[in-house]
Amino acid sequence: MIAFIAPGQGSQTPGMLAGRLRDPESADRIRVWSEAADLDLAHLGTRASPAEIDRTENTQPLLVAVGLLAHDGVVDEAALSVGHSVGEITAAVYAGVLEPTDAVRLAAIRGRAMADACDAAPTSMAAVVGGEEAAVVRAISERGLTAATFNGAGQIVAAGRTEDLRLLAAEPPPGSTVAPLKVAGAFHTHHMESARRRVAEAAAAMPFRRPRGVYLSNADGESVVDPETIRRRLVDQVVRPVRWDLCLSALARTAPETTVALPPSRTLGNIVRRHFPELRVVPVNTSGDLRRVRARLNGARPTEGATHAGL
């Protein structure tokens, strides 16, 4: 079994496309996807400053585009696909649910809508590291905040009003520390409802297909096969918590022979290695990485009946 994991916001780095656009095929794809996103993805991926690519409206379509450049170069049919937050859109392409151009367009609409929602109120996010999970979730809720992302290994991301986050940091849950995150607002909470509506309208106009293999949902880490359920969950994810911890558990139960960490691969690749060192993680960041992955996976296909093992 082969697995593909796609990163979300926070994994971006300047120059993510540097060197990749020398390949005419990749350059052509970026031009098509730039038109679909109404953004200059080539500029964002090569010359843009950290501040420019960190803007939500730029980060999300750029991350999806970078992840999709590897798509045709590895395998056509992924056995298992999963992504973190906006990475779920990337994973949907690897699973055959969405077309690449639709995926980049949807990510661009999502990014702009979420950026606009961030302007409505002073909100943000903070990582709560350590402590007992139930006590941490209770403390977050008591401050009027939302446990927005469960990253596993004792890290829960709280989101909500900036003032409430400051109070949480001043009195953290027992055994924990609270670290503010450099984000534009409270993603994956009710503060993003206006963005959810815009994403829903865009997703409704796009064809969603049944996944070829296993497609894991951020909502609960479970495999989803119905296209309309996938569409609804991708939309609702804008205002619902990301259960990456449950996705990791499902990945470990499936025990893929190789887990390909899509670019930019460092953040998610390290998380998987830290949680499950027995899994072989192959990162893809450069064209050379892609060639090595292609060689390693050459001829590899999931065996019959293996795609849902352990799920």
Q: Which residues are catalytic?
A: 85, 188
- Helix or strand holding residue 33 (H, E): helix 24-37
Sign of CA dihedral 238, 242, 244, 246: negative
d(CA 61, CA 109): 8
Question: Residue 286's CB: how many other CB atoms inside 10 A?
Answer: 13
251 membership: H or E segment, kind and range = helix 244-254
Buried b / exposed e over 236-270, threshold 16 CB at 10 Å, is ebbbbbbbbbbbbbbbbebebebbbbbbbbebbbe
Cis amide leading into 180 (omega within 30): no
**Residue appearing with tokens 């379509």:** 61
Number of helical H runs and strand E runs in the chain: 13, 10
Amino acid at 275: H
Q: Which two tokens stand for residue 148?
A: 């927005």
The token pair that represents 78 in the structure block? 């992924």
CB contact burial 19-55 (16+ within 10 A = b; e otherwise):
ebbeeeebeebbeebbebbebebbebbbebeeeebbe
Strand, helix or coil for residue 302: coil
Considering just the CA atoms, what is the radius of gyration of the chain in Å?
19
List, in sequence order, every residue forming a beta bridge with 80; answer none if it has no partner: 3, 214
By C-alpha distance, which of 227, 274, 251 is closest to 95?
227
